């Protein structure tokens, strides 16, 4: 394999030079920005350096007689193996190294190392084709985003923003690249601040989503926070009449926390109960979990939500779900007009790139994340730095 560096003002020009010299089969193994030579090079626009490679038929020579042996490293190793096998067949004597001193082992070793490095980079190139355009530190960060399940198109958008924002020296600093990526992620996502109780207004918050995502526990956590830490007047309304256990769970909590709770069996009940609690600061509505594939149930739930006329509708998604399933849930629950995203079970998720994907795709602001079952703990306000670090570094600050 022939490997060579090419330098030009732009990536396109450098690639064209590589193709002319190495041929159309040549591939790019890596790129980086470099300063122009000379004392005042730092004042001039940076150049693009690429490393190109193409399979090459190399010529290796015997040390002893100068005879040419055509072929690449693999061919040479095969010939050496054949020589050894022939000597074994023709002689019972122990084979020594002398007959093989004619081979240039240093060149072979160097060639093998080049091939290993090239194969590693080609593997990465084939896996993440677009990463080849980025400098090493940014390429590593890009791959990290992909491995966190961030969509490749979105990961490229982030990487290109880093290229624009950072200088050549900064782009070679992994820590600086990481800081910039976290900053960009926090800017890509919208966030909503928690409702602050105001005595002159009653805020109505509804929580919707598929079955098993933890809506009831989330409602209990927020009710406890508003009641105990915000000293707010809170009321609970449950529309989950399909699961008696859910009503009993919420009722038990309401009794302990001394919070009034009612059950809405119809959309008319919902409207009446919201009017009943207009003297409260916060009304939290727990709804029945619905299979997003059952459209008739979703539309039935939509009537309850419309009757409640909530200020916020939080679509609760499990962070352990697949991105494809999250998109399907969002598309089918859009009839409920959600205006917030809330991610549950963050502590159980293997990777959290889906949070970024969903927030970016839906343009809905993130409200909360939950990290366990404890009430009122294990819930956190979705804040820019918290979410960005959670997605990229899987660290909850």
Dump pLDDT digits (tens) for 117-128: 666 655 555 555
229 and 162 assigned to the same domain: no
Three-state DSSP state, 230: coil
Give residue 360's pLDDT band: very low, low, confident or very high (50, 70, 90).
very high
- Domain co-membership, 266 together with 365: yes
Q: Which helix (H) or strand (E) holds 208?
A: strand 203-208
The verdict on residue 71 lying in a domain is: no
Q: Identify the H or E element spanning 2.
A: strand 2-8
Q: Which domain holds residue 137?
A: 128-188
Co-location of 207 and 337 in the same domain: yes
> pLDDT-based confidence at 59, cuts 50/70/90?
very low
End-to-end CA distance of the chain: 47
**Within a 10 A sphere around the Cβ of 77, how many other Cβ atoms?**
15
Same-domain check for residues 173 and 252? no
Per-residue confidence band for 23, with pLDDT thresholds at 50, 70 and 90:
confident
Tell whether 242 and 320 lie within a shared domain.
yes
HSE at residue 389, side-chain half, CA atoms within 13 A, is 8
Give me the pLDDT at residue 141, please: 92
Is residue 229 included in any domain, yes or no? yes
Q: What is the pLDDT of residue 184?
A: 95
When pLDDT is cut at 50, 70 and 90, the band that residue 103 belongs to is low
Alpha-carbon span 4 to 54, nearest angstrom:
9
Instruction: Give how far the C-alpha of residue 291 lies from the chain's centroid of Cα atoms, to the nearest Å.
Output: 26
The residue among 54, 71, 87 that closes a domain is 54
Sequence-ordered strand ranges (E) for 35-170? 47-54, 59-61, 68-70
At residue 346, φ and ψ (nearest 5 deg) are: -60, -35
Q: Do 343 and 303 share a structural domain? A: yes
Residue 10 has pLDDT above 90, yes or no: no
Residues 179, 183, 186, 189, CA torsion sign: negative
237 in the same domain as 145: no
Secondary structure letter of residue 227 according to DSSP: H
- Identify whether 261 is part of a domain: yes
Residue 46 pLDDT class (50, 70, 90 cuts): confident
Q: Is residue 26 part of a domain?
A: yes
pLDDT at 39 over 60: no
pLDDT in tens, 173-192: 999 999 999 999 999 999 99
Gyration radius (Cα) of the chain, Å: 32
pLDDT at 63: 47
Average pLDDT, the chain: 82
Residue 310 has pLDDT above 70, yes or no: yes
Is 76 among the domain residues? Answer: no
Q: The CATH number of the domain where 286 resides is what?
A: 3.40.50.300
Nearest to 376 by CA among 203, 228, 204, 208: 228
Lowest average pLDDT, out of 321-325, 336-340, 365-369, goes to 321-325
pLDDT at 118: 60
Q: What is the pLDDT of residue 275?
A: 96
Residue 63: inside a domain:
no
Residues 6+ apart with CB under 8 A from 113: none
Count how many domains the chain has.
Answer: 3
Q: Is residue 109 part of a domain?
A: no
The length of the chain, given as a count of residues: 397
147 to each of 128, 294, 326, how far by Cα in Å?
10, 33, 18
Is residue 170 a contact partner of residue 176, using CB atoms and an 8 Å limit? yes
pLDDT tens-digit series, residues 283-292:
999 998 766 5
Instruction: Mark whether 27 and 170 lie in a shared domain.
Output: no
H or E element at residue 32 = strand 27-34
- The percentage of residues in the chain with a pLDDT greater than 90, rounded to a whole number, is 45
The whole-angstrom separation of Cα 343 and Cα 374 is 16
What percent of the chain has pLDDT above 70? Answer: 75
Give CA–CA dist 393/180, Å, rounded. Answer: 13
What is the pLDDT, as a whole number, of residue 268? Answer: 95
Residues 222, 135, single domain; the answer is: no
Is residue 15 assigned to a domain?
A: yes
Residues 184 and 254 grouped into a single domain: no
pLDDT at residue 244 is higher than 70: no
Please say if the pLDDT value at position 2 is more than 80.
no
Q: Would you say residue 69 has pLDDT above 50?
A: no
Predicted confidence band of residue 60 (pLDDT cuts 50, 70, 90): very low
3-state secondary structure of 7: strand
Q: Is the pLDDT of residue 317 over 60?
A: yes
**Which helix (DSSP H) or strand (DSSP E) does residue 367 occupy?**
strand 366-370
Same domain for 216 and 170 = no
- Do 357 and 250 belong together in one domain? yes
Q: Mean of the pLDDT values across residues 162-177?
A: 90
Question: For residues 385, 389, 391 and 393, what is the CA-based torsion angle, rounded to 10 degrees?
Answer: 170
Tokens of 91: 């002689």
């Amino acid at each position: 394999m022939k490997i060579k560096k090419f330098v030009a003002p732009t990536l396109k020009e450098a690639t064209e030079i590589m193709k002319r010299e190495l041929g159309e089969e040549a591939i790019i193994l890596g790129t980086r920005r470099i300063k122009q030579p000379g004392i005042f090079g730092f004042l001039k626009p940076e150049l693009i350096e690429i490393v190109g490679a193409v399979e090459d038929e190399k010529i290796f020579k015997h040390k002893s007689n100068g005879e040419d042996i055509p072929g690449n490293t693999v061919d040479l190793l095969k010939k050496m193996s054949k020589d050894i096998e022939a000597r074994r067949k023709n002689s019972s004597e122990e084979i020594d190294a002398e007959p093989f001193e004619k081979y240039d082992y240093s060149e072979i070793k160097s060639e093998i190392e080049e091939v290993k490095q090239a194969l590693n980079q080609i593997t990465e190139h084939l896996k993440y084709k677009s990463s080849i355009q980025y400098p090493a530190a940014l390429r590593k960060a890009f791959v990290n985003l992909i491995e966190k399940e961030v969509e490749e198109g979105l990961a490229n958008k982030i990487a290109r923003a880093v290229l624009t924002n950072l200088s050549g020296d900064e782009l070679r600093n992994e820590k600086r690249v990481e800081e910039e990526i976290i900053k960009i992620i926090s800017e890509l996502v919208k966030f909503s601040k928690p409702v602050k109780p105001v005595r002159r207004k009653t805020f109505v918050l509804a929580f919707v989503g598929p079955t098993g995502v933890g809506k009831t526990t989330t409602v209990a956590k927020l009710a406890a926070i508003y009641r105990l830490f915000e000293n707010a007047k809170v009321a609970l309304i449950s529309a989950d009449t399909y699961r008696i256990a859910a009503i009993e769970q919420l009722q038990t909590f309401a009794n302990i926390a001394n919070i009034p709770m009612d059950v809405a069996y119809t959309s008319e009940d919902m409207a009446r109960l919201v009017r009943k609690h207009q003297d409260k600061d916060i009304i939290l509505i727990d709804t029945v979990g619905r299979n997003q594939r059952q459209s008739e149930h979703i539309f039935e739930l939509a009537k309850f939500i419309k009757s409640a006329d909530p200020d916020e509708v939080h679509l609760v998604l499990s962070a352990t779900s697949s991105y494809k399933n999250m998109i399907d849930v969002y598309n089918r629950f859009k009839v409920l007009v959600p205006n917030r995203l809330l991610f549950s079970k963050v502590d159980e998720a293997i990777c959290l790139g889906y949070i970024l994907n969903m927030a970016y795709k839906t343009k809905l602001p993130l409200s909360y994340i939950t990290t366990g079952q404890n009430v009122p703990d294990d819930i956190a306000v979705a804040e820019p730095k918290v979410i960005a670090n959670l997605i990229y570094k899987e660290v909850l600050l």
